[in-house]
Amino acid sequence: MMLSKNLSVKEVTKSATAIKYGINNEPTIEHLENLKAVAENIFQPVRERFGVPIAVTSGYRSGALNDVIGGSAASQHCKGQALDLDADVFGGITNADIFNFIADHLEFDQLIWEFGTNENPAWVHVSYNKGKNRGESLMAYKENRHTRYKHI
């Protein structure tokens, strides 16, 4: 099943950890509706802007999968509202290109420059919450082995 022209449900639900531990990572109808919204409003415009494949390194996470990987209990990945995008997997553009395009041209809930350097994040976390988008831009960093966030 396709969520948008260039993004499938399989791409946003595949998880090596879920496979390894036998965790069911199938989204509900509500999760699929949310995934379709983030695919159509974020992923597809980014894909069309740059014209190159863009990897989704984390998409939907069931509660059980989220617990095993140590994700936040409030993670929008568990609602099907968030994607982690990584241009490094296929090349052709940078994660900074993705981040800046989303920040400057798209409506989003949260946009996070995930670690990396000041020039390029290691990946981009983006969420979309139809009708409730905050437009919040953050940078993730480590402080005393804990992840912290600052507004940018």
134 close to 125: Cβ distance less than 8 angstroms: no
- CA-based end-to-end distance of the chain: 36
**Strand partners of residue 109:** none
76: left (phi over 0), alpha (psi -120 to 50) or beta: alpha
Q: What is the CA radius of gyration of the chain?
A: 15
Structure token digits, residue 65: 């999968």
Task: Supply the pLDDT for residue 139.
Answer: 98
Distance of CA 99 to the CA centre of its chain: 11
Q: Residue 96's pLDDT is what? A: 98
Count of the separate structural domains present in the chain: 1
Residues of the chain predicted below pLDDT 70? none
Q: Give the Cβ contact number of residue 11 at 10 Å.
A: 16
pLDDT of residue 123: 98
Give the residue carrying structure tokens 């800046």.
Answer: 100
Q: Is 88 left (phi over 0), alpha (psi -120 to 50) or beta?
A: alpha
For residue 52, the model assigns a pLDDT of 97
> Residue 22 belongs to what domain range?
2-151
In this prediction, residue 41 carries a pLDDT of 98
Tell me the pTM: 0.95
Question: pLDDT tens digit string along 78-94?
Answer: 999 999 999 999 999 99
Q: What is the pLDDT of residue 122?
A: 98
Query: What per-residue confidence (pLDDT) applies to 26?
Result: 97
Q: What is the CATH number of the domain that holds 105?
A: 3.30.1380.10
Angle (CA) 9-12-13 rounded to 5° is 85
| Confidence at residue 142, expressed as pLDDT on a 0 to 100 scale | 94
- Give the CA distances from residue 152 to residues 23, 63, 71, 121, 147, in Å, rounded to whole numbers and listed in that order: 36, 29, 23, 13, 16
